[in-house]
């Protein structure tokens, strides 16, 4: 069994396109982790009548990457053999790439990654700085020759059952730490596919968001680097503390969710929606694609990166 985990926050412009792609994949569960949504994302996802769809709904924003860990815990709870992770704004034509990630895990790989920076020679200064720290972490872990700049931080990726069992949930919530813990536990890590960033079709965010994301990723990488050097995890660079969006990560809710899955308590029941309605003809992937295509024409995404 395989699951697809789709974190989403206010993705009404792209969620149908993402679902159109994922519904065509050989997956048994589609786990949508909706958090902090104030738009029609929940309404749109509930309009798709497919018994594979499980919606985990949190009215509060969980912070960056926490929804991925929430979904990973639930996928492991369902007893899957692997989990595919694709963000709710990745509306590009990436079906073959997602298929490659699933196939790679099914072949015995524990952590299957996407290279989102192939064949690019000219990058903006901020991107170059981020990539410098990704490279530094991968070199520190002796993974650069096999992974290059690839990381779970960027692009779709997949984890095996063994990885879901072994990796701490906090490590999945801080993607560079996925590599640290995977290496530490002798998990097999491999780049399975390549997608240029533009091919993801993720909408452009505000410039201040880009800076905070960069600070978050660099701080995450620094945590991995310090851990690999047998030091306590730290996000500092000289006198600077690179926090970015890290303080907004709801590790408290992640811990509560982990406990709730074991206890099947009220917190669990309050946050899960499992439709049990067979797919109707009008909700086939082909019908969804037509509706989604029309939606994109009427409401085009913002400029891309």
Indicate the range of 71-75, 137-141, 161-165, 199-203 predicted with least confidence.
Answer: 199-203
Cα separation, 142 vs 18, whole angstroms = 34
Check pLDDT > 90 for residue 177.
yes
Q: What is the CATH number of the domain that holds 291?
A: 3.90.550.10
What pLDDT shows up at residue 208?
80
φ, ψ (nearest 5 deg) of residue 190: -155, 145
Q: Is the pLDDT of residue 192 over 60?
A: yes
Kindly state whether residue 304 falls inside one of the protein's structural domains.
no
What is the number of structural domains in the chain? 1
Rounded CA-CA distance 303/305 in Å is 7
pLDDT band at 301 (very low <50, low <70, confident <90, very high): very low
In this structure, what is the dihedral angle of CA atoms 164, 264, 7, 157, given to the nearest 10 degrees?
Answer: 10
Give the angle subtended at the CA of 281 by the CAs of 277 and 283, to the nearest 5°: 65
Q: Is the pLDDT assigned to residue 166 strictly greater than 50?
A: yes
The mean pLDDT of 105-119, rounded to a whole number, is: 90
Res. 303 pLDDT band, cuts 50 70 90:
very low
pLDDT at 279: 45
Instruction: Give the pair of three-digit tokens for residue 144.
Output: 């650069």
C-alpha dihedral, 258 to 68 to 273 to 296, nearest 10°: 170
The backbone region for 213, taken as left when phi is positive above 0, alpha when psi lies in -120 to 50, beta otherwise, is alpha
Enter the pTM of the model. 0.88
Residue with tokens 């809710």: 253
pLDDT band at 204 (very low <50, low <70, confident <90, very high): low
Domain range for 38: 2-298
- When mean pLDDT is compared across 87-101, 190-204, 276-290, the lowest value belongs to 276-290
What kind and span of H or E run contains 268? helix 266-270
When pLDDT is averaged across residues 109-122 and rounded to a whole number, the result is 81
State residue 207's pLDDT score. Answer: 73
List the Cα angle 124/127/133 in 5-degree steps.
Answer: 140
Q: What is the pLDDT of residue 296?
A: 44
Residue 21, pLDDT above cutoff 50: yes
pLDDT in tens, 218-264: 999 999 999 999 999 999 998 899 999 999 999 999 999 999 999 98
Percentage of the chain beyond pLDDT 70 is 86
Alpha carbon distances (Å) from 174 to 2, 28, 58, 228, 245: 23, 26, 19, 15, 11
What count of other Cβ atoms lies within 10 Å of the Cβ of residue 20?
22
Q: Is pLDDT at 297 greater than 50 in this prediction?
A: no
pLDDT of residue 199: 74
pLDDT at 206 over 90: no
| Best CA proximity match to 30, nearest among 57, 62, 66, 4 | 4
If 0-12 CB within 10 Å is exposed, 13-18 middle and 19+ buried, where does residue 273 land?
middle
Strand, coil or helix: 233: coil
Question: Using 50, 70 and 90 to split pLDDT, how confident is the model at 121?
Answer: low
* Residues 6+ away with beta carbon under 8 Å from 245: 63, 64, 212, 213, 216
Q: In the numeric block, which tokens belong to residue 295?
A: 């939606």
Residue of 116, 112, 57 whose CA lies nearest to 82: 112
Averaged confidence pLDDT in the chain: 88
């Amino acid at each position: 069994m395989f699951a697809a985990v789709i974190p989403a926050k206010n993705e009404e412009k792209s969620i149908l396109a993402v679902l159109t792609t994922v519904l065509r994949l050989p997956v048994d569960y589609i786990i949508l982790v909706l958090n902090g949504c104030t738009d029609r994302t929940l309404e749109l996802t509930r309009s798709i009548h497919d018994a594979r769809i499980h919606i985990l709904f949190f009215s509060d924003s969980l912070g960056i990457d926490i929804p991925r860990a929430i979904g990973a815990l639930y996928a492991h709870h369902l007893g899957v053999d692997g989990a595919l992770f694709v963000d709710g704004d990745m509306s590009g034509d990436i079906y073959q790439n997602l298929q490659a990630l699933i196939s790679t895990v099914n072949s015995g790989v524990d952590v299957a990654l996407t290279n989102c920076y192939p064949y690019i020679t000219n990058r903006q200064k901020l991107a170059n700085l981020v990539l410098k720290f990704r490279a530094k972490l991968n070199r520190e872990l002796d993974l650069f020759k096999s992974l290059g700049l690839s990381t779970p931080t960027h692009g779709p990726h997949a984890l095996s059952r063994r990885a879901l069992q072994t990796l701490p949930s906090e490590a999945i919530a801080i993607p560079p730490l996925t590599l640290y813990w995977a290496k530490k536990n002798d998990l097999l890590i491999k780049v399975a596919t390549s997608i240029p960033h533009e091919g993801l079709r993720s909408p452009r965010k505000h410039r201040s968001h880009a800076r905070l994301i960069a600070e978050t990723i660099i701080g995450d990488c620094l945590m991995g680097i310090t851990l690999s050097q047998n030091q306590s995890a730290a996000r500092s660079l000289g006198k600077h503390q690179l926090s970015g969006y890290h303080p907004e990560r709801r590790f408290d809710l992640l811990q509560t969710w982990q406990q709730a899955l074991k206890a099947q308590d009220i917190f669990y029941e309050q946050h899960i929606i499992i439709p049990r309605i067979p797919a109707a003809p009008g909700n086939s992937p082909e019908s969804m694609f037509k509706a989604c295509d029309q939606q994109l024409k009427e409401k085009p995404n913002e400029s891309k990166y």
